[in-house]
Structures are given as C-alpha cells and as structure tokens.
C-alpha cells in the first residue's frame, strides 16, 4: 500500500500529518497575534472616543446649570411708567436696571463706595433688566408691587458657585475679589442663591454675555439649513442615481460623469463655500448669512455622497428581481418604481442621512457665505440671517470670556446629540426596511 | 448563414417539415444571429415552436440555448451590447418590428427563470403584480380570483392558501419556482419560456414541476431550456440540440433520443461530451 503511494510520487499520509502538525503551532500563533492587533486597534479607537467624549461632557455639563440670585424687586411705578399710560414704548424704554440696583443696595446697605457699588451691581447678569421687562410686558399689573424674583447671576458668580474659582489663590490672580466673595457667601447663607436648570441655554439666541447666550438660534439655523439641503439634494441625488444606474447607456459620457461625481465627493468643502459666495451671493444676489444659501451650498456638497450611496444601493438589488419584473411585462419605469427603488430605499436613506450628518457638522463653507456673523435673533425663515451649530461652537471657542468654555462644550454636546440621533435613525431604517432574500 | 455546414439542418428546413403535423407553429425563427458586443453567440438559427407543445432546448453550457430562449421575449434587449438579427415571428407577427411593443410581447410570452426569483412581497402580490400592471383586473374580487386560479394551476394553492400575505421569499425553493410559474401564468400568456427551471431544485420538487409542465401544455406553448437529458425526454415532445451557437438537430423528442441523425447529438445525449 505504502509502496504504491511512494511510487505514485506522493508522501505516505502519516508523514504529511507530521509535517502539518509541526507547522500548526506557528499558524495558530500567527492567528492569535492577528486577533490581538485587531483588538488593540479597536481598544485604541474606543479609548480616544471615550477621552474625547469624556472631556467634552466634563467641561460642558456645568453649562446646563445656571446660578440664580433671589432679589426682592419693587416694581416702582415712578421708575417704570411715571405717566401711567402703560404703553409698549414706555415699558420697553424704562430703566429696569435701577430697580435691580435699588434692590441690591437694600440687600447690602453697608456698601457705600461708588466703586464697590458698581461691583455689587455686577453680581447679577447684565441681561437681567431685560428679564424684568419681559415679566412686566407679560403682566403689567406687577407695577407697584414688590416681588421676590430669581435673577440670573453674572458669569463670574456662576463660575464661583460651580466651584470653578480657586478662592485660596491671591486676590489679584482671580476674577472675583474678596468683597464679591463675601457678598456671594452672604447671599448663599441667606438661601438667596440657587442653581437651576439652564433653560435659557435652549431658548435663547447668541449673546455677548455668556449667561444670556443660548443655542436655539444655532439649532434652528442648523435645522433650516439641513431642511434646505435635504429638499435639494435628496430628489436630485436619487433621480440622478436612478437615471445613471438604471437607464443611462454605458458609454464614454457616463464614464466621464461617474469620474466627475467621484471627484466632486472628494473636493474640500471650503471650495463649495467659495463657489456659493461667487455664484449664489455675488451673481444671484441671494441674502448673506441665510440658511437658504447655506442649504444650497451644503446640498452641492452632499449631492455626490447621496448619488454614490444611492447607486451602490441600486446596484445591490439583485438583477434577478429586474428580470422577474421585466419577464411579466413591466416597463423599465415600473421595474424601478415598483421593485428596484423600494428595495434600494433603506440603502438610499442611510446614505442620505450620513450625508446629512456630514452637512450638519460642516462649518468651513458656511463661513464663506457669512453664516459666521454674530446673530442674536432666532431665525424665523430660511432667508433670515442665522448661524449653525458647528459655527456657533467656533464662535464661542473664539470668545475670551471664561464662561464660554463650558458653553462651547455644551454646544458640542448638543451637536453630537443631533448626530447620534441621525445615525441611530439611519441604523433603525436599515434594520427595519432591509429585505432579505 | 452557417446552416449549410450542417446538411441535416438544411434538410429540416427544406425537405421534412419541422412543424408538428396538426398544429400551426406558434413561434417561427428564421436565421437568428445574436451578438454580444460583437462576439457572435448564435449562428443562423431556424426553428419552429409548435403550439401547445413542450419544446426543450438542450446542449452543453454556452451553446446558446438560453440566448435563443431570451430572444423569444426580447429579454436580450436589456443586455448592454447585445444585438439580435433575423426574424422571430409570434403567430406571424415579427416580434422585433416597431409595431410590437416589448411590454405587450412579454405579456404574451412569459418567462420562468433558472433561480426562483419571487419578488420580496407577499405571495398574493407576487401573483397579482402582472395582472395589475397590465390592467387585466379591476377590483379586489377579480384579483382574488385570478390569484387563486393561477396558484391552483401552478399546483401551489393548497399549500399557500392559508398564508397568502406571507412573503413569497419564505417559501421553499420548489414552492418559490411554482410561485414564479403562477406569476407567469397570471397574465395568461400564450407562451411560457422556462430557463432551466429545475436546476436549483431537489429531485422531488423537480418531479412536481415536470408534472406541472405537462399539465400546462394543454393551455400554453412551453419552451424549456434544460441540462438534464432525462428531463427533456420526460417533459418535451420536440427537442432542439444546440452546440457552439448552432442548432444542430431539431425534431421529435423520441427520435432525437433514440435515433439522432447527427453524430454530435448522439455523442451529447450518450454523455460522451458536454
């Protein structure tokens, strides 16, 4: 038996087994090493993610809390509306700051020096007179009454209350001096200081005062911009993909188009911003800083992504489905609308959402079309001047006030929240609508 | 053009009538050439498909039998770079002429593919799709009727009547293929083309489909491409043997399998090549 195998030029089987066994250890070791490298890579990536997210959340979570000071405010009719007309004009123009100052003086009667008084007034936010105006505007019957009101503390007091200031350091090296600290302690012991959820952060637009600044303007700006982007890029992208994939003949022209689309997807976004500036603003004269133009620029940027993703999704629909539909006599359009497009839709939607998420995080092209301006008002329509979340992050990161540090991180948390929601939606859509055959 | 190389094929054309004695030819193909991007795949095929018979096309892989099958409902139209010359007539009308619409043609000439390819929709919708797009049905009761009829004729009704709304892709391979047959007959075509309909099925499912083909012969003209000589012998009345893009021999199945005129046919059916 063995001889015949030897004769036929083959090794006896026992010998083969021995050779295999000798090599086994090495093979398994290589496999183990390979798995280890992979695991290390994943761990490293996860570690960076945790460090980044942890850092942002650690820095940003305090921005969701706002320190407030309770003051007894006497809504003095002589100050607000001496004539008693109660008209809008007078109410808006009144000196509400004086009411606060009076209240603070009453709270701290010992403060006499002019300079100290000025410091004392700065315990509360510079925007607090506006808060009072809003109250009176809502309820004019307040005039003439005295009421205890929680008023936003100034940024420095806010940081002090959150433990962000090291009081053991010499007075000249910190942002609050000893007197301010003593006033703060005084108020706190009297139970007149509280830390409340910072609703203003979610209901206000941008402001120069950190404690008055909110992300609503940027969030609405982002949503309007994204809506325009989606409205423009989704139908165009999907139609282009369907045409190229299902109808266009394969020739030199479609090859050129394909190469160009792939190139366009790799063009730096700032180039699209410059294009938008030159074409939409300078040539067509569309409004500056508007979500309309921002959306158009981002649509140009997202279009190739959507086309490429949609084509891939259409390509992954098995040809047998097309043949089946053609075989019963469906027209080519019926093949697309009844079978191919619905089957490709999860992939198309996933691609679109990923493109949208990229557009949501984009700032460079929007800087070029003026969406970097300081805008206090929350935009009401796509033609109002607005900014977007990533640009807001950029603006706040650039602001010198210390309290903007935590707000920058908080805005990043909001932005990441949106991104997570979008990517989750993409994932859910994919799982829910993906058909298996 | 190349027919003269094989005298027997010429014989078929000139002397012995190809057409079944009593029945009119349903489809007549004359000197059909097919090119894929300039490469010729079929060489001057002349063939007559008799009405209400089962015609099987046999031959080794790449011999052009599937290509010829796909010419008959112009499925080759969708293949980039494929050109078909010659004439194919369905009941005397040239199917490639401009006054025959391809959609209309495919309603008359249905197709069942090699791999069962039900739509990823419900069993009901799979069968109802054809009648719906052609506007053959109005109202749900009519659709219900056509769905039931088609499934019954495909021998699938009893197995699926309880779960018509379940996806067609959830059926077994053999059931899926019968669903595809039901889908094809739902638009009541005159001809059904079958491209190796049993190649993905086990012997039991194959036997069921073969039985079905025999029943369907009463109402439809059937052309079936198959790799299985036994299947061709079992289900068909006429057999055409293709080799290297040529129609080598065409005749009654019995004759082809018992007494082929051509040496190559003999070699193929006895398994000496292929």
pLDDT for residue B23: 57
Cα–Cα dist A277/B114, whole Å: 56
CA atoms within 13 A on the CB side of A435: 22
pTM of structure: 0.82
Domain co-membership, A166 together with A243:
no
Q: How many domains are there within chain A?
A: 2
Domain co-membership, A190 together with A289:
no
Residue A115 maps to a domain = yes
The edge-to-edge listing of strands for the beta sheet with B191-195 is B109-112, B191-195, B221-225, B54-58, B238-243, B246-252
The string over A233-242, giving b where at least 16 C-beta atoms fall within 10 Å of a residue's C-beta and e elsewhere, is bbebbbebbb
Q: Chain A within 8 Å of B72 (Cβ-Cβ)? A: no
Domain co-membership, A167 together with A227:
no
| Domain limit, last residue, from A149, A170, A198 | A198
Q: Distances from the Cα of A369 to the Cαs of A71, A332, A373, B248, in angstroms?
A: 44, 42, 10, 73
Residue A37 maps to a domain = no
Give the CATH number for residue A363: 1.10.3720.10
| Domain limit, last residue, from A166, A198, A230 | A198
CB contact under 8 A, B78 and A326: yes
Residue A151 maps to a domain = yes
Cα–Cα dist B13/A427, whole Å: 63
To test the contact with chain A by mutation, choose from B72, B103, B168, B170 the residue with the greatest count of A C-beta atoms within 10 A, namely: B103
CB contact under 8 A, A330 and B133: yes
Domain co-membership, A300 together with A358:
yes
pLDDT for residue B111: 94
pLDDT for residue A1: 45
CB contact under 8 A, A321 and B117: yes
CB contact under 8 A, B133 and A329: yes
Which residues of chain A lie closer than 8 angstroms to B199, CB-CB?
Answer: none
Which residues of chain A lie closer than 8 angstroms to B113, CB-CB?
Answer: 320, 323-324, 327
CA angle A12, A16, A21 (to 5 degrees): 150
Cα–Cα dist A220/A414, whole Å: 12
Which residues of chain A lie closer than 8 angstroms to B134, CB-CB?
Answer: 329
Lowest-pLDDT range of A76-85, A210-219, A285-294: A76-85
CA atoms within 13 A on the CB side of B242: 28
To test the contact with chain B by mutation, choose from A244, A247, A329, A342 the residue with the greatest count of B C-beta atoms within 10 A, namely: A329
CA angle A310, A311, A312 (to 5 degrees): 90
The string over A243-279, giving b where at least 16 C-beta atoms fall within 10 Å of a residue's C-beta and e elsewhere, is ebbbeeeeeeeeeeebeebeebbeeebeebbebbbee
If pLDDT is split at 50, 70 and 90, which confidence band does A7 have? Answer: low
Q: What are phi and psi of A279, to 5 degrees?
A: -90, -60
pLDDT for residue B185: 92
> In the predicted model, what is the mean pLDDT of residues A53-68?
92
* Nearest CB partner across the interface for B106, out of A321, A326, A338: A326
A382 touches A292 (CB < 8 A): yes
Cα–Cα dist B210/B112, whole Å: 13
B184 touches B150 (CB < 8 A): no
| Domains of chain B, start order | 3-269 (3.40.50.300)
Domain co-membership, A185 together with A220:
no
Could you tell me how many helices (H) and strands (E) chain B has, helices first?
A: 11, 10
Residue A258 has pLDDT above 80, yes or no: yes
CB contact under 8 A, A338 and B78: no
CB contact under 8 A, B169 and A326: no
Domain co-membership, A326 together with A190:
no
* Nearest CB partner across the interface for B120, out of A329, A330, A343: A343
pLDDT for residue A109: 87
- A-B Cβ pairs (cutoff 8 Å, strict): 69
To test the contact with chain B by mutation, choose from A252, A324, A335 the residue with the greatest count of B C-beta atoms within 10 A, namely: A324
> In the predicted model, what is the mean pLDDT of residues A102-126?
88
Cα–Cα dist A93/A81, whole Å: 9
Domain co-membership, A97 together with A185:
yes
Residue A53 maps to a domain = no
> In the predicted model, what is the mean pLDDT of residues A362-376?
92
Round the average pLDDT of chain A to a whole number and report it: 89
pLDDT for residue B20: 45
Show the domain range for A149: 64-198
Measured on CA atoms in the order A147, A152, A157, A163, is the torsion positive or negative? positive
Structure confidence by residue, pLDDT tens digits, B194-218: 999 998 888 888 999 999 999 999 8
B201 touches B173 (CB < 8 A): yes
* Nearest CB partner across the interface for B169, out of A322, A325, A437: A437
Residue A341 has pLDDT above 80, yes or no: yes
Domain co-membership, A240 together with A95:
no
Residue A209 maps to a domain = no
pLDDT for residue B274: 54
CA atoms within 13 A on the CB side of A331: 8
Domain co-membership, A223 together with A365:
yes
Domain co-membership, A118 together with A256:
no
Domain co-membership, A181 together with A296:
no
Residue A20 maps to a domain = no
Residue A13 maps to a domain = no
A27 touches A373 (CB < 8 A): no
SS3 B80: coil
Residue A384 maps to a domain = yes
> In the predicted model, what is the mean pLDDT of residues A323-337?
92
Domain co-membership, A221 together with A182:
no
DSSP state of A378: P
pLDDT, block means (10 residues), chain B with 274 residues: 39 42 77 91 92 92 91 88 91 86 91 92 94 89 93 90 91 92 93 92 89 91 92 93 92 91 89 71
> In the predicted model, what is the mean pLDDT of residues A88-113?
87
Cα–Cα dist A40/A110, whole Å: 64
Structure confidence by residue, pLDDT tens digits, A382-394: 999 999 999 999 9
A391 touches A375 (CB < 8 A): no
pLDDT for residue B13: 40
Residue A8 has pLDDT above 90, yes or no: no
CB contact under 8 A, B103 and A435: no
B205 touches B171 (CB < 8 A): no
Structure confidence by residue, pLDDT tens digits, A402-428: 889 999 999 999 999 999 999 998 888
Which residues have C-beta within 8 Å of that of residue B198, sequence separation ≥ 6?
B177, B205, B206, B209, B210, B226, B228, B231
């Amino acid at each position: 038996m063995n001889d015949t195998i030897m004769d036929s030029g083959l090794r006896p089987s026992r010998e083969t087994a021995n050779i295999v066994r000798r090599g086994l250890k090495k093979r398994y070791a290589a496999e183990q090493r390979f798995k280890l490298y992979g695991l290390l890579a994943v761990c490293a990536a996860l570690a960076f993610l945790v460090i980044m997210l942890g850092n942002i959340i650690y820095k940003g979570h305090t921005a969701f809390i706002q320190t407030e000071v309770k003051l007894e405010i006497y809504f003095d009719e002589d100050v607000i509306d001496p004539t008693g007309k109660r008209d809008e004009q007078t109410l808006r123009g009144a000196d509400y700051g004086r009411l606060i100052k009076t209240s603070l003086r009453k709270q701290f009667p010992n403060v006499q020096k002019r300079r100290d008084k000025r410091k004392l007034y700065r315990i509360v936010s510079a925007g607090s007179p506006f808060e009072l105006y809003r109250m009176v505007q809502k309820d004019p019957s307040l005039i003439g009454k005295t009421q205890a009101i929680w008023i936003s503390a100034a940024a420095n007091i806010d940081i002090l209350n959150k433990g962000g200031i090291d009081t053991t350091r010499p007075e000249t090296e910190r942002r609050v001096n000893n007197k301010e600290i003593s006033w703060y302690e005084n108020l706190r012991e009297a139970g007149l200081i509280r830390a409340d959820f910072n609703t203003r952060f979610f209901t206000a637009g941008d402001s120069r005062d950190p404690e008055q600044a909110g992300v609503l303007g940027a969030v609405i700006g982002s949503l309007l911009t994204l809506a325009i982007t989606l409205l423009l890029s989704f139908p165009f992208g999907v139609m282009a993909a369907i045409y190229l994939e299902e109808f266009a003949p394969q020739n030199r022209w479609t090859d050129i188009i394909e190469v160009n689309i792939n190139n366009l997807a790799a063009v730096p976004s700032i180039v699209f911003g410059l294009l938008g500036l030159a074409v939409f603003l300078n040539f067509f004269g569309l409004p500056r800083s508007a979500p309309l133009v921002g959306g158009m620029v981002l649509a140009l940027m997202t279009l190739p992504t959507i086309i490429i993703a949609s084509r891939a999704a259409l390509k992954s629909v098995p040809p047998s489905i097309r043949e089946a539909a053609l075989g019963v006599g469906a027209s080519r359009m019926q093949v697309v609308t009844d079978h191919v497009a619905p089957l490709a839709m999860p992939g198309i939607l996933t691609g679109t959402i990923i493109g949208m998420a990229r557009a949501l995080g984009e700032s460079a092209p929007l800087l070029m079309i003026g969406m970097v301006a300081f805008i206090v008002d929350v935009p009401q329509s796509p033609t109002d001047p607005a900014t977007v979340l990533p640009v807001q992050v950029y603006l706040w990161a650039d602001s010198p006030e210390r309290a903007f540090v935590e707000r920058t991180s908080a805005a990043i948390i909001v932005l990441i929240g949106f991104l997570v929601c979008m990517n989750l939606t993409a994932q859910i859509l994919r799982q829910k609508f993906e058909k298996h055959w | 053009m190349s027919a003269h190389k094989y005298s027997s094929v010429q014989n078929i054309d000139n002397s012995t009538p190809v057409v079944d004695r009593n029945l009119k030819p349903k489809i007549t193909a004359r000197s059909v050439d097919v090119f894929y991007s300039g490469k010729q795949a079929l060489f001057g095929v002349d063939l007559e498909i008799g009405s209400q018979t089962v015609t099987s096309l046999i031959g080794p892989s790449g011999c052009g039998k599937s290509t010829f099958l796909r010419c008959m409902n112009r499925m080759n139209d969708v293949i980039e770079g494929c050109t078909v010359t010659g004439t194919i007539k369905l009941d005397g009308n040239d199917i490639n002429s401009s006054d025959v619409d391809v959609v209309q043609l495919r309603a008359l000439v249905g197709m069942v593919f090699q791999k069962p390819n039900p739509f990823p929709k419900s069993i009901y919708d799979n069968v109802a799709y054809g009648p719906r797009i052609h506007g053959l049905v109005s109202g749900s009761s009519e659709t219900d009727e056509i769905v039931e009829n088609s499934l019954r004729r495909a021998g699938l009704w009893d197995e699926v009547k309880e779960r018509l709304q379940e996806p067609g892709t959830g059926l077994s391979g053999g059931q899926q293929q019968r669903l595809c047959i039901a889908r094809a007959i739902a638009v009541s075509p005159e001809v059904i083309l079958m491209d190796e309909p049993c190649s993905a099925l086990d012997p039991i499912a194959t036997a069921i489909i073969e039985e079905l083909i025999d029943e369907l012969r009463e109402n439809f003209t059937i052309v079936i491409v198959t790799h299985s000589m036994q299947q061709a012998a079992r289900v068909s009345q006429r057999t055409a043997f293709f080799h290297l893009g040529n129609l080598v021999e065409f005749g009654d199945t019995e004759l082809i399998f018992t007494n082929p005129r051509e040496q190559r046919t003999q070699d193929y059916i006895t398994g000496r090549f292929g």
